[in-house]
């Protein structure tokens, strides 16, 4: 079911490899670098957030993908993002990053991240291909 949600978000795009790899690693290993936060039951999974610690860093994690970011289950996707960030906060993570191609297929995820409080940190023009930048978003977790 998680695979279906991820595929629905990235199928037919040139960007499916990384989220599918992250999903497979999260399901197979359950490591700190590749994790999944699910919203909904096993029979009716509504949304997922793929996230994990950034290898070699202290206090930094990343979001690979949130799905779905459009349609009726968008609120569930926001809940999955909040759950993933909450998990990271409890573990002492201070910075969460997201790297997104500046491509319309990621508009829903970008909007969701910005609404949550992520801010655009930087971008590298034409990195993905001509006319498609790579955008870096960041979210700082404040100690409570």
Backbone angles phi, psi at 110, to 5 degrees: -60, -45
Output the pLDDT for position 7. Answer: 82
- Residue 6's CATH number: 3.40.630.30
Of how many residues is the chain composed?
144
Contact between 61 and 52 (Cβ < 8 Å): yes
1: buried, middle or exposed (CB in 10 Å: 19+, 13-18, 0-12)? middle
Tokens of 110: 């970008």
Q: How far is CA 115 from CA 14, 26, 38, 98, 137, in A?
A: 25, 26, 20, 14, 12
Output the pLDDT for position 108. Answer: 92
Structural domain boundaries enclosing 72: 2-140
Output the pLDDT for position 111. Answer: 95
Which residue pairs from 14-21 have beta carbons closer than 8 angstroms and sit at least 24 positions apart in sequence?
A: 15/101, 15/103, 15/105, 15/106, 18/64, 18/65, 19/50, 19/64, 19/65, 19/67
Output the pLDDT for position 110. Answer: 95
Output the pLDDT for position 94. Answer: 96
Output the pLDDT for position 144. Answer: 67
Report how far residue 48's alpha carbon sits from residue 126's, in angstroms, rounded to the nearest whole number: 29
Which residues in the chain land under pLDDT 50?
Answer: none
Cis peptide before 68 (omega within 30 of 0): yes
Count of structural domains, the chain: 1
Closest CA to 33 of 54, 6, 57: 54
On whether the pTM is more than 0.85, the answer is yes
Contact between 66 and 49 (Cβ < 8 Å): yes
């Amino acid at each position: 079911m998680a695979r279906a949600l991820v595929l629905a978000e990235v199928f037919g795009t040139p960007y499916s490899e990384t989220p599918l790899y992250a999903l497979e690693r999260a399901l197979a290993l359950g490591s700190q670098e590749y994790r999944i936060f699910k919203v909904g039951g096993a029979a009716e999974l509504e949304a997922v957030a793929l996230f994990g610690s950034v290898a070699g860093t202290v206090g930094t994690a990343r979001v690979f993908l949130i799905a779905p970011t459009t349609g009726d289950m968008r609120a569930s996707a926001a809940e999955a993002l909040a759950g993933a960030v909450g998990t990271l906060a409890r573990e002492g993570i201070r910075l969460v990053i997201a790297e997104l191609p500046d491509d319309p297929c990621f508009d829903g995820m970008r909007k969701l991240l910005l609404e949550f409080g992520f801010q655009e940190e930087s971008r590298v023009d034409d990195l993905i291909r001509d006319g498609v930048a790579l955008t870096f978003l960041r979210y700082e977790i404040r100690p409570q």
